[in-house]
Amino acid sequence: MNRYARQMLFNPIGEEGQQKLADSSVLIVGAGALGGVIANQLARAGLGKIRLIDRDYVELTNLQRQILFDEQDVEKSVPKAIAAKNKLQASNSDIEVEAIVADATVDNINDLIQGIDVVLDGTDNFSTRFMLNDICFKHGIPYSYGGVVSSRGMTSFFIPEQTPCLRCMISEGAGDGQTCDTVGIISPIVDIISSYQVTETIKYLTGHFKNLRQTFKTIDIWSNQQFDIKLAQPKKECLTCQQHIYPALKKTMNEEATILCGRDTVQIHKKSEMNLVKWKERLETIANVTRTPFLLKAQFDNNIDFVIFSDGRVLVQGTEDIVKARTLYDRYIGS
Ligand SMILES: [Zn+2]
């Protein structure tokens, strides 16, 4: 019996489409909530090669929505990429899964996209998303975008030379700073958005271009709202898909984050200003926060403190590990 029999019975895929999937390679950036559902669906569908990168390890609060992990992964603090690979290969040993435990940055993204047909977004922050958008449009690789927080999600399938790009649809830095770690998340929205990301990827890889959705979709499953913005003309001044400047590929990780030696602190400077009153309100629900006229100090229960200055600098105290500091920053501050 062929394990893909039911999928091949679906007429648009058939035997030919199944072979195309087997011959394809994808990069999934982030193996958490979105990345986990994406990887699970693609592995079971018989996607030939899955390259998976994630910088984090499994924690108890992940299990509510990150379907590839279990309590044993939490006990052993297994890196998400490794735990994900183990589960994926257990469900399908015919495919190749490559797990990379690292932060996807401008320093390694060129290597990561080698031989890749589609990049799928399972990240939790816009600086990585704009980098993925830029590298994909630079190299002509489709970018399956998805983002979720609270009960809301957004998704689109961007194709270089054919559709506008993420930068045409969202201005960099325009995010409202809400993250799953500050306003929460319910898991059904994860499954919905990642399922859209996978469906468009399968349509593309099996050559069903006419069936691609061609919209930027926004869904709120709690307040029952749904919008589709047609992917029409790119913005003329777009620095990515029109002017080919790719600004997100020019920043380096070290420009944004600096280790303050001997102080067990990493400074991250990504925003040009931060309103201390607003950030106090936002962080109060998850940390012990004190404000002085000059700074805000937020103490989290994992022995990490954030010191936030109104010029946008954030000191992550309690670590000298840049990747860990960036992970915590994206969790609590977002982008
Ligand atoms: Zn664009």
Burial category of 8 from C-beta neighbours within 10 Å (exposed 0-12, middle 13-18, buried 19 and up): middle
pLDDT over 70, % of the chain: 97
| pLDDT at position 147 over 90 | yes
Mean pLDDT of all residues belonging to the chain: 92
Output 151 or 311, whichever has higher pLDDT: 151
Average of pLDDT values for 39-55? 97
Residues 222-247 have a mean pLDDT of 96
Using the mean position of ligand 1's atoms as its centre, give its distance from the Cα of residue 278 in Å: 31
Q: Which of the two residues, 330 and 98, has the higher pLDDT score?
A: 98
Distances in Å between the alpha carbon of 45 and those of 19, 24, 95?
11, 12, 10
| Integer Cα distance of 114 and 297 in angstroms | 42
Q: How far apart are CA 182 and CA 160, in angstroms?
A: 34
pLDDT of the residue at 211: 98
Per-residue pLDDT at 124: 84
pLDDT bin (cut points 50, 70, 90) of residue 57 is confident
If pLDDT is split at 50, 70 and 90, which confidence band does 231 have? Answer: very high
Going by pLDDT thresholds of 50, 70 and 90, the confidence category of residue 55 is confident
**Residue 194: closest CA among 105, 123, 136:** 123
What integer is the mean pLDDT of 88-101?
97
Q: Where are the beta strands (DSSP E) in 254-329?
A: 257-260, 265-269, 288-291, 295-299, 305-309, 313-317
Inform me whether the pLDDT recorded for 6 exceeds 90. yes
Q: Distance, CA 242 to ligand 1 centroid (Å)?
A: 6
Give the DSSP letter string of 101-138: ES---TTTHHHHTTT-SEEEE--S-HHHHHHHHHHHHH
Q: Is the pLDDT of residue 33 over 80?
A: yes
Query: Taking the model in full, what pTM does it have?
Result: 0.85
Whole-number pLDDT of residue 181 = 78
Lowest mean pLDDT across 79-88, 155-164, 204-213, 324-333: 324-333
CA of 129 to the centre of ligand 1 (A): 13
Residue 235 alpha carbon to ligand 1 centre in Å: 6
Token pair listed for 145: 């975008």
Mean pLDDT of 83-101: 97
- How far, in Å, is the centroid of ligand 1 from the Cα of 44? 33
- For ligand 1, the distance from its centroid to the CA atom of residue 170, given in whole angstroms, is 9
Ligand 1 centroid distance, CA of 232 (Å): 11
Can you tell me the mean pLDDT for 203-209? 98
Higher pLDDT, residue 232 or 162: 162
Quick one: pLDDT at residue 250?
87
**261 or 277, greater pLDDT:** 277
What is the distance between the alpha carbons of residues 9 and 75, in angstroms, rounded to a whole number?
41
Whether 165 and 232 have beta carbons less than 8 Å apart is answered as no
Between 168 and 56, residue with greater pLDDT: 168
**What pLDDT is stored for residue 223 in this prediction?**
97
In this predicted structure, the answer to whether residue 208 has a pLDDT above a threshold of 90 is: yes
Residue 253 has pLDDT above 70, yes or no: no
pLDDT of residue 66: 96
Q: What is the whole-number distance in angstroms between the Cα of residue 6 and the centre of ligand 1? A: 38
